[in-house]
């Protein structure tokens, strides 16, 4: 074997070693601070997500429509509030339409927010779970609350600045506090154990009772 060939082989071996070290370092960094059980849960979640994504592609795409789901659930909550709590014999169609359109907007907001949050904070460690909950309740929850109050008020015909200010003043703080009481424990379960592909449907399923409360509270004086 010539010296030139020996140098080429030595160079290739050195490159392979450096590549192996880089991969090892990356794996170590990714697993930093995780127990064996947490790594296994993370890897299992990744595998489930890959399988779900493959199944969605095979069936022609993602059938999850968070906006429509949110609109349907908020409409159902308002329907139950009118029928069971207010005992109306004739339902307020304008209110139902307002709930449907506002719920669609809230569902879209939730889909965008959770997608961003999952990209920003990937690993489902307890530290990251609590970080997500804090961000969700301090950023997203106030936005949802304002969207609900303003959206339903405007679509129900309360469009003057005075009416909107009164609605916000009367409803924002109680609804936000109720949101925190209900959704902080729910979100801990959500961020820790629920796959991101089912996060919005899970949250809006849990939200049905809360939607009923929203409608009852906001329209209590009507």
Is residue 151 a contact partner of residue 70, using CB atoms and an 8 Å limit?
no
**Statement to judge: residues 48 and 76 lie in one domain:** no
Name the residue range of residue 95's domain: 67-218
Are 205 and 124 found together in one domain?
yes
Choose one of 58, 77, 103: the last residue of a domain.
58
Residues 159, 81 share a domain: yes
Same domain for 47 and 17: yes
For the chain, how many structural domains are there in total? Answer: 2
For residue 60, the model assigns a pLDDT of 44
pTM (global) more than 0.85:
no
The Cβ of residue 49 has, within 10 Å, a number of other Cβ atoms equal to 14
pLDDT given at position 63: 44
Query: Looking up tokens 């004086």, which residue turns up?
Result: 221
Whether residue 35 is found in the same domain as residue 125: no
Q: What is the pLDDT of residue 221?
A: 77
pLDDT reported for residue 143 = 97
Per-residue confidence in pLDDT tens, the chain, 222 aa = 555 556 666 666 666 665 555 544 445 566 666 777 777 777 777 776 676 666 555 544 444 455 667 788 899 999 999 999 999 999 999 999 999 999 999 989 988 998 899 899 988 899 999 999 999 999 999 999 999 999 999 999 999 999 999 999 999 999 999 999 999 999 999 888 887 777 767 777 788 899 999 999 999 876
One domain for residues 36 and 119: no
184 and 84, same domain (yes or no): yes
Q: What is the pLDDT of residue 213?
A: 93
């Amino acid at each position: 074997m010539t010296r030139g060939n020996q140098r080429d082989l030595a160079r290739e071996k050195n490159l392979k070693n450096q590549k192996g070290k880089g991969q090892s370092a990356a794996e170590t960094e990714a697993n930093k601070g995780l127990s064996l059980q947490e790594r296994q849960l993370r890897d299992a979640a990744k595998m489930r997500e890959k399988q779900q994504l493959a199944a969605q592609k095979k069936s022609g795409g993602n059938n999850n429509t968070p906006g429509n789901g949110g609109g349907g659930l908020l409409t159902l909550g308002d329907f139950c509030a009118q029928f069971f709590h207010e005992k109306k014999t004739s339902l307020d169609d304008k209110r139902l339409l307002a709930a449907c359109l506002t719920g669609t907007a809230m569902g879209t907001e939730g889909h965008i927010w959770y997608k961003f949050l999952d990209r920003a904070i990937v690993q489902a460690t307890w530290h990251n779970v609590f970080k997500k909950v804090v961000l969700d309740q301090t950023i997203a929850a106030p936005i949802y609350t304002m969207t609900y109050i303003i959206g339903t008020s405007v679509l129900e015909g309360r469009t003057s600045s005075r009416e909107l200010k009164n609605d916000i003043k009367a409803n924002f703080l109680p609804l936000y506090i109720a949101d925190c009481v209900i959704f902080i424990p729910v979100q801990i379960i959500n961020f820790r154990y629920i796959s991101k592909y089912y996060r919005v449907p899970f949250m809006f399923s849990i939200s049905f009772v809360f939607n009923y409360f929203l409608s009852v509270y906001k329209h209590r004086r009507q």
